[in-house]
Every structure is written in C-alpha cells, then in structure tokens.
Structure 1
C-alpha cells in the first residue's frame, strides 16, 4: 500500500534559513508569509554547526527562538536533521568519515554530501545529533514533521572510502554466504578474477580498462542503495522511539537509491524537490521537446511512491551555483504553472525554495521568492496569487489522486544495469521519452510505475496499457505476473533486448526474449546494435493505422523476429538491410488481452502509429479538445473529478469545451471556445458516474 501525506487542504510553505539572516528580519518575514497564505516553513537541515559548535557541546536555543516566533505567527515547522552537512570540527577530527574517489583520495570538507554512510564514527555522530535534536524540539507546538537528512545521494552517488569497501564485503557475505557463491554470481572465472579471500574483494577501482566486472557493478549499486537505506533507518529509528507523534519524510530522487523500498520500510510519505527549469537549460535539437513539461514524468515517478506527497522544494526563481548551473529567470506565470504541475501530479503540501535569495555562499544565485533587496517583486506577487487560489480550492483538491489508464513500467535492477550496459540502457531512455512525449501530446494521462518484488496483479490491473520497453533482466516470476496481466485483459508492449539476463546480470542460454518468449510467441533469430556504419532499418507497416509513413526508421537496435505461433500477427516488417522482409513488430492475443513485441527502441512515429492501432485516446475527449501545447491530467475523488489544463506555451492557445464545466480557480462556468493565456492554468470540475 503506497504511503501518502494526509492533508485536509492544499497547503503552501517555504524553506527558511534563520541562520542566514539578522534576527531583526524574522518577524517581518513571518508576517508577510502569513499574508501570502504560507502556513508551513522548513528549516535547520544544514545547521549542524549551530546545534553542535564543538563535539558534545549542544546548543538548541537559536532555533528554539525561531520556532517560538513561527508559532506566534501560526506557522507550522518541518525540521530537517542536519546530517548532509557535518561541521568542520567533525571532518577534521575524524577524516575517515569523508567519501573518497576510486583511487581512495578523500574528498575534503567545504561543500555538502562529502561523507560516506559506512563510517562507524560518522554514524555515531549522526545518531548523537539526531537524538539530541529530537529531544530538544519534539514537544514544540510548531513542529509538524521531520525531514531526515537532505537529498540522499545528491552530488555523489558512489562511495569508495575504506569503510565502504569494508561494508561492501559484509553486505556481500550476507547476500552470498560464501566466496564460492560470490564467484559464481560474478562469473569471476572470466579473466582469472576468482577470489580466494574476502579481503581481495573491493568496490569498483581504477583499472587498465574502465569497464568493470558488470556483475560487480550491478551489486555495487544494490549495496549503495541498501547502505543508504540503512543510514536513513538509523535516524528514523531514533525519531520513532522519541517522537512517535510526528511524521517522517525525506526529499529528492537521486541515483543508486531504491526510494520505493525506503519509503515503504521507513517513511510516512515521500517528498520531492521540483525544479522544472532543469529540463529547459539543455533543450537539444528536438523541436517537439517537452522541456519543462517533461518534469511531469519525474513527478509521476514520485507519485508511484506516494500518491499524495510533499514537494519540499518548489522552484520559485532562477537557479544557479557560483561555478556551474545557471538558469534564466522564469517568465511571468511560469512559477504558478510549475506549482500547479506539482499539484496535478499529487502534491498536497507545496514548499517553495526559498523565502529570500541568499546574499552569500554557493547558492547566492539560487533565487528565492524575495530578492536580496527584500522589496516586493513579481515573484512575490505570483506566489501570493497561488496562495489565494490554494485558500479557495484547497479543501476540494487535497486528498484526490491522479488518474491514469496507462503505465510506463521500470525497475531499479534494469536502470542500474543499464548505466553500464549500452546494449539496453540507452534504448530505455529513448523509448520512455518517446512514449511519454506522445502520450502527453495526445492528452493521455500516464503513470510511471516501478516494479517491485511486492508488486501484485491487482496493482497492474489498474492499467489498460503497460509499456515495459526494455527489461533486459527478466525473471520467470515477473514473466508469470505479466502473463496474468495480459490474460485478464491488459495490453502490454515490449521492446528490443527484453529478457536476456537473469538477476545476476548473466545472459540466459535460452532464446530471446527469454522468459517472455512463449508469452510473445516470438523468438529473436538475429540482431544488431545500430551504431557507426550499421544503419537503422526502415519499416513497412501492415497494421490498420495510416500514420506510419513509408521510410520510417527504427531506433537504437534491430532484432529480427521469428514467429513461433500461428496466432501471432506481424504488424510491421523491415524493408531495408539484409533482414528486409523479416518481422519487426508483432502482436499476439493472450486470453482477454494483447502482447506486442517490437525489435527496436520506440521512436515517436512508431508510438503514434501504435496509439492509433489500439485506439487509445484522451479519457475526457468528450468534454474538451485541447491543443498539444497543453498538458491534461485528472485528479479524482469520491464523487468529483478535476481536469487540469496546463499551458506550457508562451502564447495563448485555444481550447474547446464540449459541455458546460465549472472552472475552480475563477469560479465561472465555461463552454465552447476559450483562449488559455500563456502559462495559464484551468481546473474543471466534473461529476463522476455512480
């Protein structure tokens, strides 16, 4: 059961750092927050040196004053444990807490996330600061919850300190029990890598070739995730023991961490940091790029952990560090647009980063709502508008959940294995982008679903269509689950390189696509990576759709399929290369459903043709016609559904309402042709059938 934040209304908050400002500013800041309908502040996640300026010398009075004043102004407070930024005295006295590169050279103090989770001393110090902090603040009336740490694995998601190698060995001993089992799992007979003593086993190190043992590399990522979760558990256990009354969350989705497992095992709900402008600063050459709209895919991933969640940091201005990232200023309306992008996808508590732009430090160009001068600006006015709207619609929207009939399936093992394996990793990125983009442009709401060991048929049965594009690692158990999904009426899409590896990352000695070959009714008789002098093949479409034009090319990989069952329909064939005339795309009816197999990575023309073939369309097509610049999504409750329209264009765009509908933000009833303003937001209320 996914874990959600429990809110009876949409709430708006802001990140606030009292340690950055004169105490003389606090009261005016809190007063102005309340005027903007900001009711929650997050603080303290980087304040370890204030709480513990010297080892074992604790002082919680500074933030006690900040919490007291916040409470006077009716502000609720989320406190962050400060373990992402240990103080200089700690790293100086105990350098073994620092992380290291592959050569074992330590990263030095001065930024954040420069420690390792494995160091016993670091864990002891973290236990101590968390325990004392919770004791100090657990009974404060302003406190509503805890954020543990900040953005696990941000900046650095690999760890090579001495303590990490030791911890890796212990994790492997627990996983494999013997060196014999480890050697078999890692295929160490290859190139005489066989281990005869546990002391010989290390995390990835620099070698003559930068291509490590692929099975070690996969286990390394699994270990990093498990170790990070173990570090998080250390903090959660303390808070649960001392303060069982308040909720616990953490924020951010970064590399080599199974956030789904962490949420399920430790948290009350997951939180996210939403910065859509990251998707716009490298737009690429694609004229139809989703750009900031693409951030909805990331929010969809979070929604799979917590259907209703907190955005702990929502972009409220241009972003930038002194030495790297730089972003232009959001145009008028974009901050509000991005705020509702988060709300559409499940956010019930929206916390902006940050109240006022820092005047010093690495993030002094990471702008907040207020500028350095602290005078009114258009960002303040825009956030205040959102605050008024939340007050108006918040009780109606909170607790409703995003509705989708389509899911893009993924899993951590394949994501992590694909980082090294270019024979399937890049294909996944290509296919997911193409599917999500075309579903967006056709206004078909889509979920991102991460397959877990606990995933049930009931969970998958919520979806009419599932795209599981390139699951190279495929077990027989997963294949049985997917066959059951198809048999009871689902439509399932696979792509090239499906099912050729086991959980160890070994290639099966069985015909591709391995465990799902029988389900698909095909095998792969030949294949090639499309690279260098090997060109993409062209396709001839045999389906009913007329969308796929002659000359459409494949992407990434070409598999030559062999039909194994008479009930398999060849929907497309290759028309070029030595395998011209061979099947490229097949369809098979299994039970009440269909399974499709495509011997390539999906691109936009192929996805469009497939959507025509299965006749998949917008679920509210009878209500509204919307131009492609607009994202359409639905949040539903018991009796009502709320159709969100978000215009990502800098131009007004037309929409057509085929029926009368109440627009919540304006409170007006609309019908027929309407123009949406640039970066505009509409939320229409519709009745659900009983």
Structure 2
C-alpha cells in the first residue's frame, strides 16, 4: 500500500509549483539557492509540461527534467512530480480534434487554454496512459521524488462534454448503474412529457432543449461526468502504483470553491493516497478567512479526519477575479497557518517564480516580479522558518466540535431549473450556517448524510434537498441515540433520482423532525417576515416561509406575519434520547445564532464567550502531544484563555494562564502533558 504522506518528509511541506521551463536553465541555480534561503522543502513540477516531455508522438525529451530533479535533490528539495495530462500538446489535438470537448450548445472548444478535454475520448486516455507510463518508468526511484501529482484541478474549467463519444459512454454507464432501459425510464420519470425511451440508443446527453430538460437525466449526467474524470484519474494512479510502488499519488482538489462544484469529493477522497487541496480567497466582500476555514475543514473531512496538504494558495493577489487585491502584511502567513491549524501538513503556493508571460503573469508568487527586495519575499522567508518550527505537528489531527452535512450530489440536484424560488441558494445557507458555528468558536467536521454521526453532539443540516431514505434513517437514528440535529428548510425533499419522496414534505426527514409541511410560500424579492418567540423575543427572516404542521414536535418560534402568520416557524422534536430542530425560513445571522445557541444547549456545548470575534482557536492532537493554534484576524492585540500551560513554538517562550496574540498574528502552543 502506498504511503499516505510524501516520501521522506520529516518536516511540514513548504514550497510551491515550480515551472522552470518558463526560464533559461541559467536561472535554475538561482532558484534553488533562493529556495534554500526561503526554507522550501518541496516543489510541484511538470504539471503543464507534456509538450516539452513529448514534443512529437512517442518521442520523449526527458533530459531537462532529469537535470532539474537532480538539481533539486542536490539541494535537499523534494519533488511532487506531475503527470501533465491536464494540457495535451497541440500535436495531439491536431491528430484528434474530437478530443476537444463539445458544450451543451454543440460548440466545440478550441486549443489554447487548459483542461479542454473530452474525458471519454479513447485517444486521450491512450495518450495520457502513455506519458504517465514513461514518467513512472523513468522516475520511480529518483531520490527527489516525494509523491505523484496526477493531472491538475479536475473539473476546471470543463467537467462535462456532450459529444457522440460521450453519448455512447453515457449509455454504457447508465446500463452499469441502472441495469436496463426500463429502470432508466423509472428513475428518470420519463412518463412525464412523453420522454420514454425504448432502447439505450435513443438516449443522448442532456443537450440544449427549448425549455427545461429532464432533471433526473441532467443529474445522472453530472454523476457520469464526475465518474468519467475519476476513471481517468484511477487509470493514471494505477499505472503509478504498479511502476512506482510505495510512492503516494494525489491530485489537487478545490473543495469549498462554489465555482468548482462539479466534483463529488467524497468519492474522490477514497481514491487518492493523500488528500490535497487548492484554496484561493474569493474577494466578494465577505470575510475571506471564514471561507478559508470552511475549505480547510471540508478538505480534512474528505480525508476522513486524517492530515492533508494545502498544495496551492497565493502569496498575495490572484489574477482571475473581477478585482484582485494584494494580501495585507501578515495575511499570507496567517492564511497558511490557519490551514495548518485545521489539518494541513504544510503550505504550498502557486507558484515559485512569478511568470512574465501567459494568462497568469499577474498572479502573485513566492518570488515576485519585485524580486527579493520586497515585502512578499521577506514574508515568504519568515513563513518558511515558522513552518520549519512546526515539525512536531506532523501526523497530529485537528479536534472537531460539531458536524455539518454536505453532499455535492444534493447541490447538483438543487441547482437544476424550476425550483420554488431563485432566491434560495443552498450554498448560501451552508456558508451562513458555517459562519454562525465559526463565530461560536466551534471547529466543524463535514460529513456525508449517510456517514456515522455518533461522535458529534450537534449536527447541522443547512441545505439537503436531495436526501436518500438511508440518510433519513441515519439522521433519525442519530437523534434517537442522543444527538442534537438542526435542519434548515427545503431539506429531505427528493430521493437520489430527484423524485419527490412519497407523502408530505419534508419527505425523508418527517419522522426525525416530527412534522409535515403542507406547502411552501417563498417570499417576494426584498420581503421579510418577523418570527416571535419566548417572551418578547423576535427574529427576522426572508426568502422562504412554510405551512408547518407539528406531528410530535413543539412550536418554539411562530410566524408573526407573512403568508404563514400564526403558524410554526421553528420547531423542536424530542425523539428518543435526542432532539431535532427545524428552521422553516431563512434566518438572518443574529436569528440563526439564537437558534444554534439553543440547540447547543440541548447538545451540552458550553458557550465560548471568552474568545473575541474573528480570533480562531483550534486544536490538533496526536502521539507527539496536543497543540493549540490561536489565529487573530483582527487589527487589535488580544488574549486567549489558556487552560493548560505550554511552549509557544513560533517564539519559544513558555506561556500559561493566557496567550497573547498580536493583531493579525498567529501563535502555536505545544501544551504541557
């Protein structure tokens, strides 16, 4: 079985993507000298180098890569060696133009970007296997090799192709999944609108239609596209396992970016030897560090709680958003160490040396255009030293407090056309619930709806439109056995085929919640409702209301106005040893915090009132001891209560009673036994 951490790693990983082919070899010596100065331990190489490694079909030029890997090893730097299959060469597309993907509108994409691949193409699969095999044969035993990096960011920017090759592949996939065309008709509900199929040959991808197409067909096609990409990853991975046994194989995920929601990472997490992730701050006006924490928690959860690796983030600004601000002084280190707090075994960047040409020439790098006499470079060197001082953390695990359910396939289903309100955004609810837990200083594990939840005192379900019968039973059992559950509206509605569960809403969650919903009544744009509670308490909500009928649940908060005035808005159901809460409208942040506070009391979670807002306190623990991270995202110095004394690893001093954390700073304490 391959290792689950990069080979030979005694320290946390620090480095980034290295693209030396963009520079004359005379620059390489300077690069490795500066890498040593910065404390770099590993770089990712060869990811976009197919055209250089195989300039003509079957003709390989490995000399430059030989010299590069030898040079890295000579200077004590390991390689995360890529298979360059995200960017086939121009000669390949000239010979196989049908390997370029076709979109739903029937337009074929052109060569000149990256990731433009029909993953069903036999020619692509053969060529990808060929270059992967040659790389594995040549470098399997190279001393610089730490791990293999297959492809790059699967699903970005294209995940699905709609060509005839994909149509034939889709039919085979449907037969393997459903067993017969009759079963496909049943699953897709093709009796509606006369869409019934008499044979597989009549089924095509869900191409452009004059009005909304069959939602179950579209959902299955998203599954198929994801599975097809994963087939290609597994093919390359198996070649590498066979020819380079013991060397871990990964591919870089992008777990929490809403722009990258075409991949079911629960399934992918089971296929890689080490979970890795890329994360970039989305500068849309929200608190970017909250999404960072969410991405790290989600990546750790995909890894089953095991340590993972941040394979890409930015030293400063990126180049592909509408506005790309520079990171402020100290923000790069704070971002990096926040990922480490939540389970990463280091921090790597895109990229080492900033490009002079190409689409990402304005994307920041470890070695910027400004050179070594720059703030970014000085912060990179300081961060390298800090990462080096955290070596004892290797192999420890982040300690969670609560769980949130997350299912990419439910996102896919809910994003299809003709839902009750375009203002309801499932991802917005997930972000809001996470932010509320973050502000209560709770570390979140994410879980699949059918996963074992028994370890968590509190489980929140912000948006689970697609809920299987198995997931419904799982949540009922969780509550019966003493868990506290919080479910938001429009959850439990359909099964895995996007078919409404038989009987009243909320379908698969009726029993756990002890209620039914007769109707939804989404609100108009900008419209709000008031929700009245115990005493004179009042909450504010918008977007959505429901006509809720308690069937065992008690009404805790009531609609004071709006379409459902006088009816239950928030309910609480005591079931077995536990409690299930239901929230039937979109609560604003203050209201959501109120409900989560009440649910937290049911779960026995004590409020963490001694911690300021935007100061994270996260723990890692393992054989080497227990560690506390304090990450201060504010502009003010603060103090964090410290129950156990210990040694602060970044400064070396012994601390007890409280931990002083400077504005924008990070402190890491190795707690005394």
TM-score tier after normalising by the smaller chain length: over 0.9
Aligned position for 1:400: 396
Give the 3 Å change call, closer, same or farther, for CA 626–519 of structure 1 in structure 2.
closer
Deviation at 1:96?
Answer: 0.9
Question: Partners of 1:656 and 1:645 in 2: how far apart?
Answer: 8
Matched, 1:258 2:269: no
Deviation at 1:632?
Answer: 2.2
Question: Partners of 1:49 and 1:602 in 2: how far apart?
Answer: 53
Deviation at 1:416?
Answer: 0.9
Deviation at 1:437?
Answer: 1.2
Aligned position for 1:437: 435
Query: 1:538 aligns to what SS in structure 2?
Result: strand
Deviation at 1:618?
Answer: 11
Aligned position for 1:506: 499
Deviation at 1:578?
Answer: 4.2
Matched, 1:382 2:343: no
Tell me which moved more, 420-429 or 663-672.
420-429
Query: 1:657 aligns to what SS in structure 2?
Result: strand
Alignment of 1:128-143 (within 5 A): 128-143=130-145
Of 467, 472, 483, the match for 1:479: 472
Give the 3 Å change call, closer, same or farther, for CA 137–673 of structure 1 in structure 2.
closer
Give the 3 Å change call, closer, same or farther, for CA 121–656 of structure 1 in structure 2.
closer
Give the 3 Å change call, closer, same or farther, for CA 471–255 of structure 1 in structure 2.
closer
Query: 2:415 aligns to what SS in structure 1?
Result: helix
Question: Partners of 1:191 and 1:74 in 2: how far apart?
Answer: 65
Matched, 1:685 2:670: yes
Query: 1:420 aligns to what SS in structure 2?
Result: coil
Of 28, 36, 39, the match for 1:37: 39
Question: Partners of 1:135 and 1:154 in 2: how far apart?
Answer: 28
Of 581, 586, 600, the match for 1:601: 586
Deviation at 1:620?
Answer: 9.3
Alignment of 1:128-277 (within 5 A): 128-209=130-211, 211-253=212-254, 254-264=260-270, 266-276=271-281
On the 8 A contact 1:431/1:603 being kept in 2, the answer is no
Question: Partners of 1:9 and 1:625 in 2: how far apart?
Answer: 33
Name stretches of at least 5 consecutive residues in structure 2 with no aligned partner.
255-259
Matched, 1:630 2:615: yes
On the 8 A contact 2:476/2:511 being kept in 1, the answer is no
Aligned position for 1:465: 458
Tell me which moved more, 583-592 or 4-13.
4-13
Question: Partners of 1:507 and 1:46 in 2: how far apart?
Answer: 45
Aligned position for 1:72: 74
Aligned position for 1:5: 5
Question: Partners of 2:624 and 2:244 in 1: how far apart?
Answer: 37
On the 8 A contact 1:40/1:77 being kept in 2, the answer is yes
Tell me which moved more, 369-378 or 667-676.
667-676
Matched, 1:346 2:343: yes
Of 657, 670, 676, the match for 2:641: 657
Give the 3 Å change call, closer, same or farther, for CA 261–112 of structure 1 in structure 2.
same
On the 8 A contact 2:216/2:498 being kept in 1, the answer is yes
**RMSD (CA atoms):** 2.4
On the 8 A contact 1:662/1:670 being kept in 2, the answer is yes
Question: Partners of 1:8 and 1:423 in 2: how far apart?
Answer: 54
Give the 3 Å change call, closer, same or farther, for CA 11–578 of structure 1 in structure 2.
closer
Query: 1:304 aligns to what SS in structure 2?
Result: helix
Give the 3 Å change call, closer, same or farther, for CA 220–98 of structure 1 in structure 2.
same
Give the 3 Å change call, closer, same or farther, for CA 30–605 of structure 1 in structure 2.
same
Question: Partners of 1:654 and 1:449 in 2: how far apart?
Answer: 33
On the 8 A contact 1:573/1:582 being kept in 2, the answer is yes
Matched, 1:491 2:484: yes
Question: Partners of 1:368 and 1:325 in 2: how far apart?
Answer: 19
Question: Partners of 1:500 and 1:179 in 2: how far apart?
Answer: 26
Name stretches of at least 5 consecutive residues in structure 1 with no aligned partner.
284-288
Tell me which moved more, 478-487 or 660-669.
660-669
Question: Partners of 2:294 and 2:82 in 1: how far apart?
Answer: 27
Aligned position for 2:355: 358
Matched, 1:554 2:541: yes
Matched, 1:541 2:533: yes
Query: 1:682 aligns to what SS in structure 2?
Result: strand
Query: 1:220 aligns to what SS in structure 2?
Result: helix
Deviation at 1:500?
Answer: 2.2
Deviation at 1:405?
Answer: 1.8
Matched, 1:449 2:434: no
Deviation at 1:433?
Answer: 1.9
Give the 3 Å change call, closer, same or farther, for CA 376–450 of structure 1 in structure 2.
farther
Question: Partners of 1:380 and 1:416 in 2: how far apart?
Answer: 41
Deviation at 1:674?
Answer: 6.7
Deviations 1:582-619 (A, max 9, x none): 11111122222111112123431222112332345998
Deviation at 1:370?
Answer: 1.2
Give the 3 Å change call, closer, same or farther, for CA 585–579 of structure 1 in structure 2.
same
On the 8 A contact 2:521/2:563 being kept in 1, the answer is no
Deviations 1:206-261 (A, max 9, x none): 2222x221111111111111111111111011111111121100002233222221
Deviations 1:117-144 (A, max 9, x none): 0001111111111111111111211111
Tell me which moved more, 305-314 or 605-614.
605-614
Query: 1:503 aligns to what SS in structure 2?
Result: coil
Question: Partners of 1:4 and 1:437 in 2: how far apart?
Answer: 31
Alignment of 1:303-382 (within 5 A): 303-306=300-303, 307-321=306-320, 326-372=323-369, 374-382=371-379
Question: Partners of 2:511 and 2:605 in 1: how far apart?
Answer: 33
Query: 2:216 aligns to what SS in structure 1?
Result: helix
Question: Partners of 2:413 and 2:447 in 1: how far apart?
Answer: 18
Aligned position for 1:574: 559
On the 8 A contact 1:443/1:618 being kept in 2, the answer is no
Give the 3 Å change call, closer, same or farther, for CA 8–142 of structure 1 in structure 2.
closer
Deviation at 1:145?
Answer: 0.9
Deviations 1:24-73 (A, max 9, x none): 11122112212222111110010001111011111111100100111111
TM value normalised by structure 1: 0.91
Question: Partners of 1:450 and 1:519 in 2: how far apart?
Answer: 17
Question: Partners of 2:293 and 2:342 in 1: how far apart?
Answer: 7
How many aligned positions are there?
659
Deviation at 1:525?
Answer: 2.5
